[in-house]
């Protein structure tokens, strides 16, 4: 049996597909990967039995169009999984979609191989993550660009316990109601995978993709001790600033954590607490960033601009909070009202096909002071880095230098990356 995964060009390692590939290989399936835009000749010659993809909301039409084209050229069973089919299983109604895998796919993908009558598959969670085989890196690393990338990606847990109203995580938890949603691999299991990858592939930096790496203090403290002893390689993780304390910051630093990402989202107290439900005060944000600076951990602050519940004034409050925190990079995106989320459902005029996978360049909403707020998104990180420019913002936001601002945005991101990843890029 032959299974082909199809992806758009990857900017980072898609661990989900790699996990599924290993499950399939362990069950005797031959697996390959094809990137959209590459020559189709080998695919047509290989004639896979199944073709699957992981789809993010905003890219669904790209995949649908590609699969329609493939269906005209050969016979195969199509499998759509990932976030978009999980939250919008009606995609099964498309004539190029044979099966939908909702949620985590390790059990579902094996069930689909049996060609069941039901077309939308949701299987129970795997509670013991140590039982899941390590992801199939050879699937991706046949491409020398990925194999030789000094940054390798890992994930130590599954299931975020928070309910941010702009995120689909709440839908995920409802899918698995009554099951243990937040789960951790053992520290030993994670360390074993990291060491295996380091010994086998060119690696200078370890990147943990977990939504919140420090949500279990007992686990993270044990992990840090093991990592410091057995790995000794710089790593990145995502933290919540309200969970960060002196002990955690010290242990992360000693273990080799040289950079983190932290979501602030808004500098306006009402929006952050009542609209975004972050449950995090300015004092906690400032204290957390002070600890990161104290222990020499570079950090990115992530923010959402263009929220319809606020205006330019509130976006500038977000900028000012970031300036006060002195991040390595003040990062910002433009709010996208994803249908099916609590905030997205406030805008019933927005359909799922209105959403694209670019949340940097525009807002699909008719927000106030739109041009100025879109320009602020491009200048945000630069002004965090050069706060002396803050006084000139009233002028800069009204100058139609959008192409220049985009170039400056890209430059600043590259500048920050050199610090965050210590020259490994």
Are the CB atoms for 320 and 380 separated by under 8 Å? no
Angle at which helices 217-230 and 246-255 pack, to 10 degrees?
20
Whether residue 413 contacts residue 381, with contact meaning beta carbons closer than 8 Å, is answered with: yes
Decide: 35 and 9 in contact? Cβ < 8 Å. yes
Rounded Cα distance between 279 and 264, Å, is 11
Structure tokens at 221: 């403290």
Query: What are 7's two structure tokens?
Result: 């992806």
Whole-number Å distance between alpha carbons of 60 and 363: 19
According to the 3-state scheme, what is the secondary structure of the chain? CEEEEEECCCCCCCHHHHHHHHHHHHCCCEEEEEECCCCCHHHHHHCCCEEEEECCCCCHHHHHHHHHHHHHHCCCEEEEECHHHHHCHHHHHCCCCCEEECCCCHHHHHHHHCCCCCCEECCCCCCCHHHCCCCCHHHHHCCHHHHCCCEEEECCEECCCCCCCCCCHHHHHHHCCCCCCCEECCHHHHHHHHHHHHHHCCCCEEEECCCCCCCCHHHHHHHHHHHHHHCCCCEEEECCCCCCCHHHHHHHHHHCEEEEEEEEECCCHHHHHHHCCCCCCHHHHHHHHHHHHHCCCEEEEEEEECCCCCCHHHHHHHHHHHHHHCCCEEEEEECCCCCCCCCHHHCCCCCHHHCCCCCCCCCCCCCCCHHHHHHHHHHHHHHHHCHHHHHHHHHHCCCCCHHHHHHHHHHHHHHHHHHHCCCCC
The C-alpha atoms of residue 279 and residue 230 are separated, in whole angstroms, by 36
Provide the residue ranges of all domains of the chain, joining segments of one domain with +.
Answer: 2-121, 149-420
Residue 340, pLDDT score = 86
Cβ-contact 337, 364 below 8 angstroms: yes
Q: Could you tell me the mean pLDDT of each successive run of 10 residues in the chain, 425 residues long?
A: 95 93 98 94 95 94 96 97 95 97 96 97 97 97 93 96 87 91 97 98 97 96 98 96 97 98 97 94 98 98 94 98 98 93 90 82 91 97 98 97 96 95 78
Query: From CA 363, how far away is CA 359, in angstroms rounded?
Result: 8
pLDDT one-digit tens code per residue, 346-364: 999 998 888 877 778 889 9
- CATH number at 149-420: 3.20.20.70
Phi-psi region of 365 (alpha: psi -120 to 50; beta: other; left: phi over 0): beta
pLDDT for 425: 65
Residue 278 CB-half CA count within 13 A: 25
Report the alpha-carbon distance of residue 88 to residue 94 in Å, rounded. Answer: 12
Query: What order do you get walking across the sheet with 120-121 strand by strand?
Result: 30-35, 2-7, 50-54, 77-81, 99-101, 120-121
Residues facing 158 on adjacent strands: 183
- Predicted structure pTM score: 0.95
CA dist., res. 65 & res. 67, Å (int): 6
User: How do residues 299-311 score in pLDDT, each as one tens digit?
Assistant: 999 999 999 889 9
pLDDT tens-digit map of 4-44: 999 999 888 999 999 999 999 999 999 999 999 999 999 99
Cβ neighbours around 244 below 10 Å, total = 23
Structure tokens at 234: 């710089």
CATH of 2-121, one of 3.40.50.280, 2.40.50.100, 1.10.287.110, 3.40.50.1820: 3.40.50.280
Over the stretch 220-239, which tens digit does the pLDDT of each residue have? 999 999 999 999 899 999 99
């Amino acid at each position: 049996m032959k299974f082909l995964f199809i992806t758009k060009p990857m900017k980072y390692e898609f661990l989900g597909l790699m996990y599924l590939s290993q499950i399939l290989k362990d069950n005797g399936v031959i697996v390959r990967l094809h990137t959209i835009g590459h020559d189709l000749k080998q695919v047509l010659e290989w004639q896979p039995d199944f073709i699957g993809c992981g789809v993010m909301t905003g890219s669904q039409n790209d995949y649908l169009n590609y699969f329609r084209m493939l269906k005209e050229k050969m016979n195969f069973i199509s499998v759509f999984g990932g976030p978009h089919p999980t939250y919008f299983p009606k995609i099964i109604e498309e004539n190029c979609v044979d099966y939908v895998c909702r949620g985590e796919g390790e059990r579902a993908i094996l069930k689909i191989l049996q060609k069941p009558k039901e077309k939308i598959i949701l299987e129970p969670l795997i509670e013991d993550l140590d039982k899941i085989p390590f992801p199939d890196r050879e699937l991706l690393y046949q491409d020398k660009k990925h194999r030789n990338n000094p940054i390798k990606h890992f994930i130590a847990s599954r299931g975020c316990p928070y309910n941010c109203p702009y995120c689909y995580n709440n839908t995920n938890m409802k899918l698995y109601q009554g099951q243990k949603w937040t789960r951790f691999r053992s520290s030993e299991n994670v360390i074993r995978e990291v060491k295996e990858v380091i010994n086998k592939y060119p690696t200078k930096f370890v990147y943990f993709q977990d939504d919140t790496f420090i949500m279990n203090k007992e686990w993270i403290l044990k992990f840090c001790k093991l990592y410091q002893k057995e790995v000794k390689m710089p790593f990145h993780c995502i933290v919540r600033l309200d969970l960060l304390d002196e002990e955690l910051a010290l242990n992360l630093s000693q273990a080799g954590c040289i950079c983190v990402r932290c979501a602030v989202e808004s500098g306006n107290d009402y929006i952050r607490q009542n609209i975004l439900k972050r449950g995090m005060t300015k004092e906690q944000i400032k204290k957390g960033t002070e600890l990161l600076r104290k222990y020499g951990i570079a950090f990115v602050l992530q923010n959402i601009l263009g929220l319809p519940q606020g205006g330019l004034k509130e976006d500038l409050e977000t900028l000012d909070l970031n300036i006060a925190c002195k991040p390595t990079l003040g990062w910002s995106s433009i709010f996208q009202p994803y249908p099916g989320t609590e905030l997205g459902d406030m805008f019933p005029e927005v359909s799922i096909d209105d959403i694209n996978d670019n949340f940097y360049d525009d807002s699909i909403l008719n927000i106030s002071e739109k041009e100025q707020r879109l320009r602020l998104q491009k200048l945000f990180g630069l002004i965090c880095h050069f706060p002396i420019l803050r006084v000139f913002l009233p002028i800069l936001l009204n100058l139609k230098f959008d192409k220049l601002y985009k170039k400056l945005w890209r430059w600043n991101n590259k500048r920050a990356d050199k610090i965050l990843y210590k020259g490994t890029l």
